[in-house]
Chain A
Amino acid sequence: MSTPYGTPGPGYGTPGGPAVFDPTTLPADDNVTPYTFCVELKGSQWFLQKGKMIAYYGSMEFNGIGHGRLDRLVRTSFHSPLHASDWVVAEGSGKMLLADRAFDVNSYDLEDGNLTIRSGNLLAFQPSLALKQSIVPGFLTLIGTGKFVAASNGPVVFMEPPIRVDPQALAGWADCPSPCHHYDHGYMTGVMGGLRALTGLGGASGEEHQFEFVGAGTVLLQSTETLMAEQATGAVPPDAGVPGSGAAHTGPSQVAGGQRLPGQLGDLQRRFGL
């Protein structure tokens, strides 16, 4: 089964075999396969989550966010202090391939818009966009004009409000007013709900608690429970009067489980859905 992308070239590789790419046949800022995205750098810069670059042609440099020379760029485009250590800036010229644990990847174009995405799903974005932490824990908001690349478990399904979504299946949303919580009353007061409330056993699943979206916009869904890496975001400094402050461990981002070092076994488990 050959992919619909690209065409086989001459030389090594055989007709009817897999498509073979080189810098001239790789797409520019487009998908190579549903799981691999190619970014073209022409002296330009991209923000990139660490470890998501799988290969590149050309000459490129990858510098950490803390790098002094990048101060100005970071000041205008990167507003998520919790994430600074997870991101690098790629610059140079050539083509690089991005991928994330064999999840589906897609690019999104914003034109003077805003889109909020689950923090673990965001792979890369152009500096013309500004990255901010959403007030919904575990989500990041991109504002401005430009392109970004995000992963999802299975293709992203776009839905229109009104809709209620299992928080774990929510990949993100665009233009919607912030989601609110919806608790299924019948479920919570039922026998099981009572038991659960008393014993704490059974946890919560999407059936009794959803995020509800109303108004105009688009909701992005993916098929997942806890497969994607979660990263704590949205935690706020302990200031008086700021909702959620001092309670950084509540909300869906609690699974973050401290620092995630690349190569940790946790990655493996997530990848295999354990």
Chain B
Amino acid sequence: MAFREINPKMVEATVMPGQKLFSQRGAMLAYKGEVSFTPNMAGGQGGLLSMIGRRVADEDTPLMTVEGSGTVLFGHGGHHVHVINLAGDTLCVEADRLLAFEGTLQQGTMFLGSQGGVMGMVRGQISGQGLFTTTLKGHGAVAVMAHGGVFEIPITPQRPVHVDPQAYVAHHGDVRNKLSTALGWRDMVGRGSGEAFQLELSGSGAVYVQASEEKL
């Protein structure tokens, strides 16, 4: 277990030689021991492609490689931190919600529009979160940030879940996403234009939702 939740807004990571971590720039609160933080221009293992993806998606969140031996405290902006453990499956998460993750996880970029078609494109524009989502795959732990904490809603084939795009944090499992409009939903004069759409997630897995419609 790489991350230990110290309180709802802070996690402690143990860094050992040969085991690196990636973290968002500015996420380090304090450290003990000999630990180095190196900016990662290529954005992890994703290489150039992932880099371009990030630029296009305006997800210009350079990652830091954390190496050495010691303990590091992570937290950011007073946001709530939630640790998700992956055991071989894939987690989809917006890049700017990533606080830190283990180096054992394989990092990639997914074009959300490929599933939702045109609507997927719209989704990116609505929530302003970009068309690209970071994917993390393999075995390891991920610390994500959310405004006001997150809760998990299981998705089963019989029970698709609809989520406000602004409140969506991440999802994992074999899940298809598409944008939908609910009956009468459009009539609502919401706070943001995003209210008119919902993200429909179907399949089997789980979606993480934050206790706020405010995007980070």
Q: Are B75 and A169 closer than 8 Å at their CB atoms? A: yes
Instruction: Tell yes or no: A157 within 8 A of B by CB.
Output: yes
Q: Are B36 and A186 closer than 8 Å at their CB atoms? A: yes
When A and B form their complex, what is the total count of cross-chain residue pairs whose Cβ atoms lie within 8 Å? 90
- If A225-B78, A273-B147 touch, whether A207 touches B28 (CB-CB below 8 Å) is yes
User: In the complex, how many angstroms separate the beta carbon of A76 from the nearest chain B beta carbon?
Assistant: 35
- If A163-B32, A166-B29, A190-B38 touch, whether A157 touches B10 (CB-CB below 8 Å) is yes
Within 8 A of A (CB), among B136-165: 147
Contacts of A191 on B, CB cut-off 8 Å?
39, 41
Q: Which residue in B26, B30, B37 is a CB contact (below 8 Å) of A225?
A: B26
Q: Which residue in B6, B26, B30, B147 is a CB contact (below 8 Å) of A205?
A: B26
- If A186-B36, A187-B37, A190-B38 touch, whether A227 touches B78 (CB-CB below 8 Å) is yes
Q: Are A154 and B28 closer than 8 Å at their CB atoms? A: no
Instruction: Tell yes or no: A27 within 8 A of B by CB.
Output: no
Q: Are B39 and A190 closer than 8 Å at their CB atoms? A: yes
Within 8 A of A (CB), among B22-37: 25-26, 28-32, 36-37
Considering the complex, give the chain B residue whose CB is closest to the CB of A206: B28
Considering the complex, give the chain B residue whose CB is closest to the CB of A155: B7
- If A224-B77, A225-B78, A227-B78 touch, whether A154 touches B29 (CB-CB below 8 Å) is no
- If A221-B73, A224-B77 touch, whether A154 touches B7 (CB-CB below 8 Å) is yes
Instruction: Tell yes or no: A23 within 8 A of B by CB.
Output: no
Contacts of A208 on B, CB cut-off 8 Å?
37
Of B8, B9, B36, the most chain A CB neighbours within 10 A belong to B9
Considering the complex, give the chain A residue whose CB is closest to the CB of B31: A164
A169 to B6, CA, bound (A): 15
A192 to B39, CA, bound (A): 7
Q: Are A169 and B30 closer than 8 Å at their CB atoms? A: yes
User: Scoring A residues 155 to 198 as 1 if CB is less than 8 Å from chain B, else 0, what string do you get?
Assistant: 10101001111100100000000000000101100111000000
Q: Are A184 and B37 closer than 8 Å at their CB atoms? A: yes
A210 to B32, CA, bound (A): 12
Instruction: Tell yes or no: A106 within 8 A of B by CB.
Output: no
Q: Are B64 and A162 closer than 8 Å at their CB atoms? A: no
A206 to B64, CA, bound (A): 12
User: Scoring B residues 30 to 52 as 1 if CB is less than 8 Å from chain A, else 0, what string do you get?
Assistant: 11100011110100000000000
Q: Are B78 and A273 closer than 8 Å at their CB atoms? A: yes
**Chain B residues close to A by CB (< 8 Å):** 6-10, 25-26, 28-32, 36-39, 41, 62, 64, 73, 75-79, 81, 147, 214
**25 residue pairs from A and B, CB less than 8 Å apart:** A154-B75, A157-B6, A157-B7, A157-B10, A157-B73, A164-B30, A166-B26, A169-B29, A169-B75, A184-B36, A187-B37, A191-B39, A205-B25, A205-B26, A219-B30, A223-B9, A223-B10, A223-B29, A223-B76, A223-B79, A223-B81, A225-B26, A225-B78, A227-B78, A273-B79
Known: A164-B30, A164-B31. 15 other contacts (CB 8 A): A155-B9, A162-B32, A166-B29, A166-B30, A186-B36, A205-B25, A206-B29, A207-B28, A221-B10, A221-B30, A223-B29, A224-B75, A224-B77, A224-B78, A272-B214
